[in-house]
Chain A
Amino acid sequence: MQRQGLGWFEERLGWSGFREKFLDKAFPMHPSFFLGEIALFSFVILVITGIYLLFSYEPSAQIITVGGRSFPAAYHSVTQIDKQPFGLIVRQVHHWAAHLMIAVVILHLLRVFFTGAFKKPREINWVIGILLLLITVMAGFTGYLLPYDAFSVTASGIGYQIAASIPWIGVALAKFVFAGQFPAIGTIPRFFGYHVVIIPLLLIGLIGLHLLVMIKQKHTEPSSSRGRVAPGRLLGIPLWPQQTSLMVMLFLLMTGGLLLIASIFPVHPIELYGPPGPQTPTVKPDWYFLWVFGLLKLIPGWLEIHLGGTVLDPEVIGGILLPSLLILLIFLVPFLNRTRERQNYLEPVTKHPLRTSIGTGVLMLLLTLSAAAYQEVLDISLAIFRLAAVLLPLLVGIATYLAIRLFRGWRSKTIKRAREPLSSDR
């Protein structure tokens, strides 16, 4: 019946081959497999809401006078967006979807890490995934400046100074990226270009590549599917119509959820923050930068590295060097693995105690550093935090390791006991 209705197209496009190849593609089922999709849909929502904002946003830091008061044009245009019938809610959804996208990309990465899905042959998609995370964070950073309020100008100013503290190239690089010494009049047009053209194009390209590689290599499966279908085949539901209807539901749920959250919890209320002025408001960066912020706080001011006639000051060490080192390590994860077989099933987290405990240790480190960002609010001394940043990750890592060992010992005993009557039967 369906064939008939589409027969006209079938005759001209001959797309039944395409149907077999793509629409019948099997999607293995596991709740954590939706993380990537949530990230994709957040991006779709960001594009849609972003295009709405484009209609009224004015990318300029020129000071304009409205009703006797002066504002940067960008700031004023965003306050005008907030006054449109749907403007405020769309802007809030855009901001919340940005948080969601970054959070979900991170969770997606953790899922892939802890289940060993990055192993051969999926190293390429691991690398693309990390690039996607970095570019998404850049999208958040560049977008954050656009409303040009007191908070966003402070945050970008700190970003500028950290970039400028790189030896040799820092100042030139920062001036190129920010179009002059921040806050320069050219910064907003340039950031606007990054935010609405360059970064979205990069994201679209890399997401496409990510999906293509995934389709070519097939998805990893939950290990419960092992042996249930012929080797080389995948147990799952087809893209059309089952998976598609799940995706549509997920997308609608997300849109509804974001609208609900955006209407209950306001985010980045620029009218409250006000336009940038001479003084600096008390700001904390967005949550995904907190760990760098905390690191900058914990690194003692006297710590300097003298290297080949230049000085690496604490800002470069905490703001650039250590974060880059961590990112580099994350990039290298699949290449540190020496197994030669192809990995087709998810691994239980207990399979590789060392990997799992390094993972939880690094997570604990990031959490401790993020907490250190609130050190003065928590009223805990820097010294205690410095100690905690070293000890807590180690403790958590070791505890994870021991817990997995214990669990495996216990399980192998119960499995043995369960098998004993069987083996005596034979």
Chain B
Amino acid sequence: MAEEHERPEHANQAGIGRRTLLRWVVGVGAFSSLATLALVLGTVKPQQTSQRDEKIKAGDVLVFALGPNKGDPITSTNASASRPAGIVIVPEPGQHKGEPIIPTSVGLGDVTLAFPRGKEMHDNLIILIHLKKSRFVPPTHLNWLPDGFVAYSAICTHLGCTVGYSYEPMPGAGVPYPHIHCPCHQGMYNDMAGAEVVSGPPPRPVPQLPLALNAKGELVADGPFDGPVGPLPGGR
């Protein structure tokens, strides 16, 4: 009995006090809980997306991305269009001419959004512009312009919005000609000169896509884009 009373406060043989031990237990417990939490959170992977991660290749047939002819291949005509004014965000071929919609072609002066057939994912979106071939100057790749069609990535290199087309010159912004126009922060690219940035925040041109016509007269890609699509990841 008496012995018990004499027991020193820190009876632990190893000489570790009760408080120290408790502190260690709590510390190790907290650390391992946090580590487990971090491990569990790390496994919270994005769900499988339905988008196939497919890049454009030579031979891919270009199809309308929207409008009544969505999904149809695009062919060439040289019917000239009278240019409308304003920024066209939904350029549907023929729509602005007051004529019935030309089913599958993009006339001279027309602009449309296109996808490579079967690879309809955001990063593959293309803006297709039809002009007289003589109007293009370098750095446009002049040998990628069958019948005066030029194709650029439609994903703005600034923050990834889909670019539109402005038929209206904007001399106030130093762009006195129709141009590729991004509606998000008014980035402007000169489609006749390799999509050079002529106004606004985009850091570089939208990449150009080599084009060709196949035996059926349909527009096809003749290779991948000549540069990365959309904004570059942080720090390059």
CA A183 – CA B183 in complex, angstroms? 19
A161 touches B231 (CB 8 A): yes
CA A181 – CA B185 in complex, angstroms? 21
Stretch at the interface among B8-16, B93-101, B140-148, B195-203: B195-203
Contacting B at CB under 8 A, from A286-324, are 293, 296-297, 299, 301, 310-316
Number of residues from A at the complex interface, CB < 8 A: 48
CB within 8 Å for A179 and B47 given contacts A280-B184, A297-B185: yes
A310 touches B235 (CB 8 A): yes
> Which residues does chain B contribute within 8 Å of A167, judged by CB atoms?
234-235
A294 to chain B: closest CB distance in Å?
10
Residue of B nearest to A315 (CB): B159
In the complex, B213 has a CB within 8 A of chain A? no
A422 to chain B: closest CB distance in Å?
64
In the complex, A137 has a CB within 8 A of chain B? no
Stretch at the interface among B77-85, B131-139, B160-168: B160-168
**Which of these, B48, B125, B160, contacts A157 with CB under 8 Å?**
B160
In the complex, A165 has a CB within 8 A of chain B? yes
> Which residues does chain B contribute within 8 Å of A160, judged by CB atoms?
160
> Which residues does chain B contribute within 8 Å of A87, judged by CB atoms?
none
In the complex, B20 has a CB within 8 A of chain A? no
In the complex, A170 has a CB within 8 A of chain B? yes
**Which of these, B65, B125, B172, B197, contacts A381 with CB under 8 Å?**
B172
> Which residues does chain B contribute within 8 Å of A414, judged by CB atoms?
none
CA A167 – CA B236 in complex, angstroms? 8
In the complex, A140 has a CB within 8 A of chain B? no
Range of interface residues on B (Cβ < 8 Å): 35 or more
Contacting A at CB under 8 A, from B222-236, are 231, 233-236
B65 touches A278 (CB 8 A): yes
CA A23 – CA B163 in complex, angstroms? 60
**Which of these, A158, A179, A310, contacts B159 with CB under 8 Å?**
A158
Residue of A nearest to B203 (CB): A301
B166 to chain A: closest CB distance in Å?
11
Q: Mark B150-186, 1 if CB is under 8 A from A, else 0.
A: 0000100011111110000000110000000011111
**Which of these, A180, A282, A297, contacts B46 with CB under 8 Å?**
A180
A171 touches B186 (CB 8 A): no
Residue of B nearest to A380 (CB): B172
Residue of A nearest to B233 (CB): A171
CA A169 – CA B235 in complex, angstroms? 9
In the complex, A175 has a CB within 8 A of chain B? yes
A164 touches B65 (CB 8 A): no
CA A375 – CA B158 in complex, angstroms? 18
A162 touches B65 (CB 8 A): no
B positions within 8 Å CB-CB of A: 44, 46-50, 65-66, 87, 89-90, 113, 115, 122, 125, 154, 158-164, 172-173, 182-186, 197, 200-203, 231, 233-236
For this complex, 11 residue pairs linking A to B, each with C-beta atoms less than 8 Å apart, are: A157-B159, A160-B160, A162-B159, A171-B233, A180-B49, A183-B122, A278-B154, A279-B90, A310-B236, A312-B235, A315-B158
